[in-house]
Structure formats: structure tokens, C-alpha cells
Amino acid sequence: MIQVSSPFTHNNNSVRKVMLNVQLAALPALFTHIYFFGFGITIQWTLALITLLVVETIMLKLRNRPIWPYLTDFSGLITVTGLVFCIPPEAPWWVIVSGITFAIIFGKHLYGGLGYNPFNPAMLGFAFLLISFPYEMTQWTLPTQVSGYYLSFIDSFYLIFSGQIHSVPLDQITGATPLDEVKTALSTGVTVPTSLMSDSFNAFRIPYGWAAVNIAFFIGGTWMLISRSIRWQYPVGFLLTMIILSAAFNWFDPETYAPVRFHLLTGGLMLAAFFIITDPVSSSTTPMGRFIYASGIAVLVYIIRNWGAFPEGIAFAVLIMNMFVPIIDQYTQPRVVGYRK
């Protein structure tokens, strides 16, 4: 095949096409999420989208930039997708609103808009939420299979906007995420294999809901890979490093270190692998650099998950590696033909 599409021209259209592809690829995960965790995420998505439009418009106006062309490059959508999947589906409405606002203002426009932001806006917004509202961010809706309740759209709506619900007991439908559960159990001396036997895990010892959403992300991500919407170095470098690390530690001490399947199928791992670390603006620009960047994030995620203060480390790992991008770029610059290094 000689026919090559035009990845070399970077106009509004190509950005838009890639962004739409990303949205399409996230659909399987969205449906899976709705199946396991209820309709909360659709409300969060709508809230996020409205906030995005309002904040973008205000910021573009303040910066004297044309509004329509910037708004329709859809680049903000990836921030919405990245953040919406990270917050608890029934989190109060102001959580996602303030998260998106922070991400767009401090993560994007203060640095000069799309293309100039050194940090991934979605992860900046997520980190902001994690340290600002730790209580709200730990209240995850449990999958139906665990709690025995399925929240209707109306239930979710009430929970998000009023924080109260009368039809079901609140403390039975929310709880710790599997990552949190295993980590807390470890601190009280409960071994990982024992934790994996708890109600949150199914017969395969993978967490209800979480595993399915991660697999859906993997499927959508693979499609993006095949359709060349993302570069292969990101997911391959990230997942490979994660697998090697978790396999090695699990082999070394299975009582303390969770198996590979646990690490791959919990938290936001697949979301990160295909939708977050693939952001071309805040990551390395060289092929080798992308690989190093991705595996660096995996190393940091593994470190934070096992030895850090937070159960999930993707936001911090991405932000830390964002800071290393200039150095990585400098040392991985491909040799220009005819020149010696």
C-alpha cells in the first residue's frame, strides 16, 4: 500500500478527526461503565461538557482569541473523557465542574492554549480533585454485583445534585475501590491473596465492573491503534513495563504484591494506556522518547500503587513524567542523516 493519508499537515480538521475517533473508541467503555456502575457517568459527562463549553468560551474571550475555531477543534473533549472516567460516578455535581474548570484554566489556557500545555490537563484536574476533595473522591459507587443495588437514572440524578437518596442506604452502595481495599487490607496485615477472595472480586479473582471497563478500554484502544489515531509506543511501552514489574514483584512475594491481572484490570490503567498518556502535546515527540515516557509512567504508577500514600497513582505519574519530557526529548533526538552524533 502506497497510499498514505496526510498525517503531516496539522490543520484543524485532522485534530478534529482524531478527537472524534478518540470519543468513538471510548464508547464501549462508556456502555460497560453504565452497565456496571449505573447512569451516573452520563450525567457527569453532560455536566463536564457544559462546563467545558462555558469555561473555554470565557477563557478564549479573555484572551482575545476567536472562539468558534478553537471550540470546534474538539480538543477539550479528551480532557472531558479523561476526567469523567476517573471520578466516582455519583460524586456531587461541583466535583466534576470544578475539576474541568481547573483543568481548562490552569492546565490549558494559562499556558497559552492547546499545544503549549506542558501538563496533561485531564490529569491536572484529577490531581486537583484528589487533593482538594479527598472525601468525595473516595466514595465510589459499587458495582451492582457487589452492592446488590442498581441505581436508576433518577437515583443517580438525585445523588449527584442533592447528595441524598432515600430509596437505598448510601453506605451500602458506595465503598472503597478494589485498589484501595487491597491496599488498606495490606496495612492491617491481610495478605493480597486473601483480599482477592473478598466480595469485590469474581471467580477469576478480578474485580467486578472494573475489569470489564478496563477490557472495554483495551478494545477501544486497540481500534485506535489500528486506525492510527494513537502511536503504538505509548500503550506498548506502558503495558509492557507494567506487566514486567507486577510479574516480577508478584513472583518475588505473592503475599504482598498483587498479580499482573489485578494491576492491569483495576483503576484507570487501560484508560491511561490508550487515552491519557497518548496526548501528543504533553508527551515526548520522538519515537524512542514516547516509549521511555510511557514506561516511566508505568514505573511511577507501580511505585505509587504499592508504596505511595494514594491507592491509584496514574495522575501523579503522568504529571511527573510530563516534567521530564524536555529532557527525554533532548536525549532521544534521532540522528539526522549524514551527521554523526
Partner 1 sequence: MTQLNQTNLRFSLSAKLSQYRQIARNGVWENNQALVALLGLCPLLAVTNNTVNGLGLGLATMTVLLTSNLLVSLVRNHVASEIRIPVFVAIIASAVTAIDLWMEAYLYTLHGILGIFIPLIVTNCAILGRAEAFASKNPVDQSLVDAFFVGLGFLLVLVILGSFRELMGSGTLFAQMDLLFGEAAKSLKLSMPDDFHPILMAILPPGAFIGLGLLVALKNMFEQRKSELNRQPLDITEVSADIKPISAS
Partner 2 sequence: MDQNTPSTPSKMTRPGGNLRRKMIQSAFYLSLFTLAGISFLLVTQHITAEPIKQAEKQVLLKTIDQILPTTQYNNDLFTDTITVTSPDYLGTTDPVTIYRARFNKKPVAVIFKVIATNGYSGNIEIITGIYQDGTLSGVRVLKHRETPGLGDKIETRKTDWVLGFSGERLQPDQKRYWRVKKDGGHFDQFTGATITPRAIVKAVKTALDFYQQNGDRLYDSTQSN
Closest separation between CB of residue 131 and partner 1, Å? 5
Which of 13, 72, 132, 333 forms a contact with partner 1 (CB under 8 A)?
132
Stretch that binds partner 1, among 32-40, 133-141, 167-175, 246-254 (CB under 8 A): 133-141
- The C-alpha cell 489500528 sits at 226
Assess 307 for contact with partner 2 (CB under 8 A). no
Q: Closer to partner 2 at the Cβ: 279 or 312?
A: 312
Stretch that binds partner 2, among 133-141, 207-215, 236-244, 256-264 (CB under 8 A): 133-141
Q: Which of partner 2, partner 1, none does residue 98 bind to, with CB < 5 to 8 Å depending on kind? A: partner 1
Amino acid at 201: F
Which 197-216 positions form the footprint of partner 1 (CB under 8 A)?
none
Q: Which of partner 1, partner 2, none does residue 188 bind to, with CB < 5 to 8 Å depending on kind? A: partner 2
DSSP bridge partners of 140: 175
C-alpha dihedral (79, 85, 90, 91), degrees to nearest 10: -50
CA 208 to chain centre: 18
Is-contact 203 19, C-beta < 8 A? Answer: no
If DSSP states are collapsed to H, E and C, what string results for 109-163?
A: HHHCCCCCCCCCHHHHHHHHHHHHCHHHHHCEECCHHHHCCCCCHHHHHHHHHHC
Which 157-216 positions form the footprint of partner 2 (CB under 8 A)?
171, 184, 187-188
Which 15-44 positions form the footprint of partner 1 (CB under 8 A)?
none
- Residue 244 burial (CB count, 10 A): 15
Closest separation between CB of residue 63 and partner 2, Å? 33
Assess 131 for contact with partner 1 (CB under 8 A). yes
* Spatial CA neighbour of 301 closest among 257, 248, 245, 226: 245
Assess 133 for contact with partner 2 (CB under 8 A). yes
Q: Which of partner 2, partner 1, none does residue 140 bind to, with CB < 5 to 8 Å depending on kind? A: none
Q: Closer to partner 2 at the Cβ: 135 or 252?
A: 135
CA distance 138 to 178: 11
Is-contact 130 309, C-beta < 8 A? Answer: no
Is-contact 333 286, C-beta < 8 A? Answer: yes
CA distance 55 to 59: 6
Q: Closer to partner 2 at the Cβ: 81 or 177?
A: 177
Stretch that binds partner 1, among 3-11, 130-138, 145-153, 278-286 (CB under 8 A): 130-138
Judged by CB under 8 A, how many residues of this single chain contact partner 1? 10
Which 110-129 positions form the footprint of partner 1 (CB under 8 A)?
128
Closest separation between CB of residue 276 and partner 1, Å? 20
Is-contact 149 33, C-beta < 8 A? Answer: no
- The C-alpha cell 477501544 sits at 220
E strand or H helix that includes residue 106: helix 93-107
Please give the residue ranges that form the binding site for partner 1 (CB under 8 A).
92, 94, 98, 106, 128, 131-134, 136
Please give the residue ranges that form the binding site for partner 2 (CB under 8 A).
133-135, 138-139, 171, 184, 187-188, 309
